[in-house]
Amino acid sequence: MPRITKVVTRSGDDGHTALGSGRRVPKSSPRVAAYGTVDELNAQLGVALSAGLATELLPSLRQIQNDLFHLGAELCLPPDDLAARPGPRIEPRHLATLDDLIATLNAQLPPLQNFVLPGGHPAAAALHVARTVCRRAEREVVALHQQEPVGPHVIPYLNRLSDALFVLARTQNRLAGVPEPTWNSHA
């Protein structure tokens, strides 16, 4: 279990940071951008959790936050180090959990008749923001993957997670009794 004993190290004052392997890279590197956006996504989920999220959705969101730490741990290691170091990874079970969550929640929602606008209940709006951050994380991981390998389940997990966040936002509005804002294509 990692133990954080010091927060201020000053080691990043020169614009570099250490990957999980200890190798130092510029903070602008695609790998750092990718796992940094995953961290931003996790923080946005914290906003949703603190915005009055329905009790029924809390366990799923907390599990997703934990899974995102697995994903960050996987992304912070370069490909050569990833194979040699044991540690948390995104696995098929994480994808299966998201698939089950999407299917369960979607079965309880009315069919979409129009495009949903982000908004409604504050927690639903926060989940919509998380969904867009998740899509950005996915784009950054895809860009990273064009330069060097990432774990086989990382991109599918982020793709699936953005779908889950959409369904979670719709579910939050339903449980809160707040109508979903929809696009008016004639306005």
pLDDT of residue 32: 86
What is the percent of the chain with per-residue pLDDT over 70, rounded to a whole number? 84
pLDDT of residue 185: 83
Q: State the Cα–Cα distance between residues 174 and 86, nearest whole angstrom.
A: 41
Alpha-carbon gap, residue 139 to 34, rounded angstroms = 8
Residue indicated by tokens 């750092």: 32
Q: Does domain 22-109+117-176 correspond to CATH entry 2.60.40.1120?
A: no
The whole-number pLDDT of residue 62 equals 97
Predicted confidence (pLDDT) per residue in 42-69, tens digit: 999 999 999 999 999 999 999 999 999 9
Paired tokens of 69: 């730490």
Q: How far apart are CA 26 and CA 15, in angstroms?
A: 6
Q: What is the DSSP letter of 13?
A: T
Binned at pLDDT 50, 70 and 90, residue 71 comes out as: very high
Model pLDDT, residue 158? 98
- Mean pLDDT, the chain, integer: 89
Read off the pLDDT band of 20 (50, 70, 90): low
Tokens of 35: 């796992």
Contacts of 116 (CB under 8 A, 6+ apart): 166, 169, 170, 180, 181, 182, 183
Pair 63, 47: CB distance under 8 Å: no
Q: Is the pLDDT assigned to residue 12 strictly greater than 80?
A: no
Calculate the alpha carbon distances from 99 to 5, 122, 152, 174, 178 in Å. 38, 25, 17, 20, 25
Domains of the chain: which residue ranges? 22-109+117-176
Mean pLDDT for the stretch of residues 157-183: 96
Find the DSSP H helices in 51-149.
58-75, 79-84, 92-106, 122-147
Structure tokens at 129: 């923001």
CA geometry: angle at 51 spanning 48 and 55, to 5°? 85
The answer, yes or no, to whether residue 3 has pLDDT greater than 90, is: no
How would residue 28 be classed by pLDDT, with cut points 50, 70 and 90?
low
Reported as a single tens digit per residue, the pLDDT across 91-142 is 999 999 999 999 999 999 999 889 999 999 999 999 999 999 999 999 999 9
- Contact at 8 Å (CB) between 48 and 126? yes
